[in-house]
Structures are given as C-alpha cells and as structure tokens.
Amino acid sequence: MDLGFCINEEAIKSHIKSCEGKHIQQIAYSSFHDALTQVCFTCNCVRTTLKREDVEEKTNINSS
C-alpha cells in the first residue's frame, strides 16, 4: 500500500470526494494529532495530513 502525505485537509477531502461511491475507503480523524487520514482499498493508498517525520519515527521506516 502506498503512503501519501498531504499538506492540508482540503487535499485529502478532494481525494475522498473523488473516490466516494466508486471505491472502498475508510476515513479517520485524530483529534490528538489533528490529522485526517484516508485509506482507499481500491486505490491501494493511504493519504494523511500527519507529518512525514512523525510517521517515520513511529514506524521506523528509516531504520533499514
């Protein structure tokens, strides 16, 4: 699954709207992180407004 970072919620909402009714998707909002995330199973993509550094730090993407 691809991971995409969007700079604002409007960018995510645009993707949500384009997938709506055509794709299977899950949308989540984190009040703790103040971040919106879309998981589109048809596009095989996760799009989020989380900061790239925070995600990489938590998931250890850079430690290979």
Per-residue pLDDT tens digits for 7-64: 999 999 999 999 999 999 999 999 999 999 999 999 999 999 998 888 888 777 555 5
SS3 category, 12: helix
How far is 6 from 3, CA to CA, in rounded Å? 10
Neighbours of 19 (CB within 10 A): 19
For position 60, what pLDDT does the model report? 73
For position 7, what pLDDT does the model report? 92
SS3 category, 7: coil
* Domain segments of the chain as ranges: 2-59
Which residue, 1, 4, 58, is CA-closest to 36? 4
For position 29, what pLDDT does the model report? 97
For position 55, what pLDDT does the model report? 84
For position 62, what pLDDT does the model report? 55
